[in-house]
Amino acid sequence: MKKENNPQLMEKIISLCKRRGFVFPGSEIYGGLANSFDYGPLGVELKNNIKNLWWKRFVQQRDDMVGIDAALIMNPKVWEASGHLENFSDPLVECQICHERFRCDDPFSEETTKEMAKHIFKKHPDRIGRGTEYKWEEHYAKPKQFNLMLKTFLGPVENNDSIVYFRPEIAQSMFVDFKNVLDTTRRKLPFGIASQGKAFRNEITPGNFIFRTREFNLMELEYFISENEWEKWFEYWKEEMKNWLKELGVNLKHVHEIEIPEGERAHYSKRTIDFEYDYPFGRKELYGLAYRNDFDLKRHFKEPPYEDAESGEKFYPHVIEPTFGLDRSILVSLLEAYHEEEGRIVLKLPVKLAPYKVAVFPLLKNKPELVEKAREVYGALRKQFTVAFDDRGNIGKRYYSQDEIGTPFCITVDFDTLKNDDVTVRDRDTMKQERIKIKDLQTYINGKLI
C-alpha cells in the first residue's frame, strides 16, 4: 500500500490503533488533552518490544556501550549550561484575531501559508472580504521565537527559585553523568552511554497522531570519541541507524537522509543529518544524527573530564549522537506493516515486534476435551512467549482478528491433536498451514524469532 501522501492510510492506522487497543486518545472521557495519547494493552507490548530490541542491540550486545536511567527533572543550571534556556526555540506566528499560535519552520512556505489560510477560513470567515485575494500577512504577527521548555515548580513554594524544567532531551543526563560513568566503568574512548525515557517539549502545534506530541519517548545514545575520528564515527552511526530501521521492518526506500545546513542546525551541532520518512501526511523527520563536537562536556565540566591512559593527556572527548524517537518508531513500524489483501487487514510486523507471538484456538468451543488441550498448549507456551487465547466465533474470524494485530502464528487444537499430539500452525503472512508436534512448538517459534 502506498505510504506517502495517503491521508486515508493515516485514518486507517488511527482507527485500528483505537479499535484494537494499540493507542487511545489521552484523557478521552474528558474530551482529550491537546494531542496526548495512551498506549493500550497491545501498544504497550509493541512499545516495550521496540525498546528492548534497541537496548539489546545498542547496549547489551556491544562492548563499547553502557546504559543509564537518569532523573527526568534536573537542576535548572543544566539547561542554562546546555544552552537550552537560551536557544531551544521554534519560530511561531500568531493569529492577530484569536491569538492561536502556529509553528512555522519557514513562514513563507506553502505548508505554513496553507495552514494559516485554513485557520482564517474556518475560524474567522467573517474577516475574509468576498472576491478579494486572501492576504495572510494582514492577519498574522511576524514570526517570533518561542521557547519549548516545559516548566513547573518543585516543592511547596511557587516562586522563581522553585522553577524547574521537564527535560526536552535525555542527552544532557549522559553528559552530566559522564564522569561518574567513566569512574565506575573505566571505559576508554571510543565508548558510548545510552538511555531511554520520556522527554517533554511545549510544542506550538502538536499533531499527526503520535508524530508530534508534547510528552514523548526517546531512545538516545552519546558516543564519545577523539576529535580526529569524528567523520569516521559519523559514517559508522549513519549505517547503524539504517540497520536498525531494517530491523524495525522499514523499507529504506521510504527513508531520506537530509543534510541540515549550518544556519538550521541545533545550537550544539557541527553536522546533522535528519532521517526523513514518507509519512502519509508528507515527508518529515524520523530520527537525527548529530556531531555535537565537545560543546556539551565543555559547558558542564570546568576541567577536561577524560584522561588518556597512555599519554596522560587530559581533554574533552567529542560526541556523535544518534537519536531515535520511540513514538515515531512505533508509527513507522505500523505504517510499514499495514496491508490490506484478500479481504483481510494484516499487520506484517517483524516477529520480534509483534505484541502476541502466538494465538492458540480450540477448534470448537463446546468440546471440553479440545478446550482443555488448547489451554494446556497455551499455558506451556506462555512461559516463554506472549500468547493470546481465543475460542470465540469460527476459525476464520479468529484468524482475521489475529492478522489485524500482527500475530505471526495461530495454533489450532483439533480432534487429531488428541490422537497425535500435533497441532495446525498457520503463518500470518503466507496463510500456509503445517502440522507441528506440540513438543516441537517452542523450538519452532524460537527459530522464527532469531
Q: Give contact residues for ligand GAP (rule: CB under 6 A).
A: 169, 171, 201, 203, 212-213, 216, 218, 220, 285-288, 321, 323, 325, 327-328
Are 82 and 296 in contact, with CB atoms under 8 Å apart? yes
Give Cα 228 to chain centroid, integer Å.
Answer: 32
Residue nearest to ligand GAP (CB): 325
Q: Between residues 323 and 402, which has the closer beta carbon with respect to ligand GAP?
A: 323
DSSP code per residue over 43-92? HHHHHHHHHHHHHIIIIIT-SSEEE----SB--HHHHHHHTHHHH-EEEE
Q: Count CB-CB contacts under 10 A for residue 365.
A: 15
Q: Between residues 4 and 285, which has the closer beta carbon with respect to ligand GAP?
A: 285
Q: Between residues 175 and 361, which has the closer beta carbon with respect to ligand GAP?
A: 175
Strands 422-427 and 433-437: what pairing? antiparallel
Give the three cell numbers for residue 35: 494531542
The least CB distance from residue 173 to ligand GAP, in Å, is: 11
The least CB distance from residue 207 to ligand GAP, in Å, is: 10
The least CB distance from residue 227 to ligand GAP, in Å, is: 20
Are 149 and 85 in contact, with CB atoms under 8 Å apart? yes
CA distances to 365, 376, 409 from 420, in Å: 20, 15, 20
Q: Between residues 201 and 426, which has the closer beta carbon with respect to ligand GAP?
A: 201
Q: Between residues 300 and 373, which has the closer beta carbon with respect to ligand GAP?
A: 300
The least CB distance from residue 220 to ligand GAP, in Å, is: 5
The least CB distance from residue 302 to ligand GAP, in Å, is: 23
Q: Between residues 286 and 297, which has the closer beta carbon with respect to ligand GAP?
A: 286
Establish whether the linkage from the previous residue to 190 is cis, with ω within 30° of 0: yes
Q: Between residues 201 and 357, which has the closer beta carbon with respect to ligand GAP?
A: 201
The least CB distance from residue 203 to ligand GAP, in Å, is: 5
Q: Between residues 78 and 413, which has the closer beta carbon with respect to ligand GAP?
A: 78
The least CB distance from residue 408 to ligand GAP, in Å, is: 27
Element (H, E) at 411: strand 409-413
Cell numbers 497455551: residue: 378
64 Cβ contact partners less than 8 Å away, ≥ 6 residues apart: 187, 190, 191, 192
Are 211 and 230 in contact, with CB atoms under 8 Å apart? no
Give Cα 266 to chain centroid, integer Å.
Answer: 20
The least CB distance from residue 279 to ligand GAP, in Å, is: 12
Handedness of CA 125, 128, 130, 132 (dihedral sign): negative
